């Protein structure tokens, strides 16, 4: 892991388990962000993002931290291997931080909190869920509160359960619920809409920029299937993509934000565990294989797949 010194503004590598206590930044990218190369070449003092970096380091130093992690400059994005490792490690890095500073540069008071674009970006979803301690700041680096003291405002802005905001593991929620948290969010690079969700589902996969949003998201769902028998993964709606006839959704937008998903009782499950295991096992061959119940239909023979979950 590479960290930035809060007063000397130099980068240092920390291998393995030798990582010191550190603060971490959550923010929205803009023009003139300071990169790894800018820090190494000391060419950042006049850049647009320098006040943001300076404010983060100043607050971290005041809080007693020598080191801070900032995604724009602590990752060498010219290295595809390093970028892949960072994307797969990011949730854990936010989780392991002592404190996360959420810098909302587009608001000037707490009354405007829910209007911030920070609540609409894909990457900031895991950045506020993962940290155990998160402080929120306005554009002048004035502290507005913590995610615990602002839990009601954050809930109204995101719809994410207050228990999750307060620190409960997202793995306690079913797959469809977690997907719904991202259904109205956006990322600059289309594939990132899948990659930014890996930590929420505790899965890992290599990013392949250029594969497109749909392929990236389906790969994410396949990785989830390999690790979980949670059938709510199939509990999506096709309103955003009426031509999708597949078993898997092609975007988190298919997981509506206006419902909650619940499991039926175990004895009412329609798909036996053996069938789900067969389904998951068959993913190794990139195919789905499961028995369906035939039923009549207006346009010929249809088949039903009865899940052990429902929409409310």
Closest CA to 117 of 30, 222, 8, 236: 30
Would 281 be classed as within a structural domain?
no
- Give the whole-angstrom CA distance, residue 97 versus residue 130: 9
Q: Let me know if residue 191 belongs to a domain.
A: no
Please state the pTM of the whole predicted model.
0.88
Residue 211, in any domain of the structure: no
Q: What is the DSSP string of 238-251?
A: -TT-TT--SSS-SS
**Rounded distance between C-alpha atoms, residue 278 and residue 288, angstroms:** 9
Q: Are 209 and 203 in contact (CB under 8 A)?
A: no
**Does residue 278 sit within a domain?**
no
Q: Tell me whether residue 90 is in a domain.
A: yes
Q: For every one of its 312 residues, what pLDDT tens digit does the chain have, with 9 covering 90 and above?
A: 999 999 999 999 998 889 999 999 999 999 999 999 999 999 999 999 999 999 999 999 999 999 999 999 999 999 999 999 999 999 999 999 999 999 999 999 999 999 999 999 999 999 999 999 999 999 999 999 999 999 999 999 999 999 999 999 999 999 999 999 999 999 999 999 999 999 999 999 999 999 999 999 999 999 999 988 888 898 888 766 666 567 899 999 999 765 565 555 444 444 555 555 455 444 444 555 555 556 655 555 565 666 666 666
Say what the pLDDT of residue 290 is.
Answer: 58
pLDDT the model gives residue 17:
81
- Does some domain include residue 294? no
Its domain, for residue 38, covers: 1-168
Residues near 124 by beta carbon (within 8 Å), at least 6 away in sequence: 26, 28, 102, 118
How far apart are the C-alpha atoms of 185 and 253, rounded to whole Å? 8
Query: Does residue 3 form part of some domain?
Result: yes
Report pLDDT for 29: 95
Number of structural domains found in the chain: 1
DSSP assignment of 114-145 equals GG-GGGGBSHHHHHHHS-SSEEEE-TT--EEE
Q: Please identify which residue in the block is written with the tokens 């250029």.
A: 210
**Which run of H or of E encompasses 162?**
helix 162-165
- Kindly list the distances between the CA atom of residue 12 and the CA atoms of 6, 18, 98, 286, in Å, as whole numbers in the listed order: 11, 12, 18, 42
Q: Is residue 209 part of a domain?
A: no
């Amino acid at each position: 892991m590479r960290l930035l010194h809060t007063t000397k503004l130099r980068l240092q590598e920390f291998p393995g388990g030798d990582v010191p206590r550190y603060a971490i930044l959550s923010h929205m990218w803009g023009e003139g962000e300071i990169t790894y190369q800018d820090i190494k070449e000391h060419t950042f003092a006049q850049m647009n993002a320098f006040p943001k970096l300076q404010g983060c380091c100043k607050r971290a130093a005041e809080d007693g931290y020598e080191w801070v992690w900032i995604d724009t400059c602590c990752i060498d994005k010219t290295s595809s291997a390093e970028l892949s490792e960072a994307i797969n490690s990011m949730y854990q890095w936010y989780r392991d931080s002592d404190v996360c500073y959420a810098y909302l540069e587009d608001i000037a008071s707490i009354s405007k909190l829910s209007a911030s674009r920070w609540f609409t970006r894909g990457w900031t979803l895991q950045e506020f869920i993962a940290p155990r301690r998160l402080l929120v700041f306005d554009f002048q680096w004035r502290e507005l509160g913590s995610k615990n003291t602002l839990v009601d405002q954050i809930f109204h802005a995101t719809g994410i359960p207050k228990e999750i905001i307060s620190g409960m593991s997202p793995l306690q929620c079913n797959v469809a619920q977690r997907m719904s948290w991202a259904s109205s969010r956006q990322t600059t690079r289309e594939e990132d809409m899948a990659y930014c969700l890996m930590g929420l589902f505790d899965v890992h996969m290599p990013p392949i920029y250029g594969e497109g949003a749909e392929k990236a998201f389906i790969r994410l769902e396949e990785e989830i299937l390999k690790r979980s028998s949670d059938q709510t993964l199939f509990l999506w709606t096709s309103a955003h993509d009426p031509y999708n006839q597949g078993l898997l959704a092609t975007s988190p937008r298919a997981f509506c934000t206006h419902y909650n998903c619940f499991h039926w009782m175990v004895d009412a499950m329609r798909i036996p565990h053996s069938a789900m295991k067969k389904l998951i096992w068959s993913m190794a061959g990139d195919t789905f294989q499961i028995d369906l119940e035939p039923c009549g239909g207006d346009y010929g023979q249809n088949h039903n797949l009865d899940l052990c979950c429902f929409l409310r």
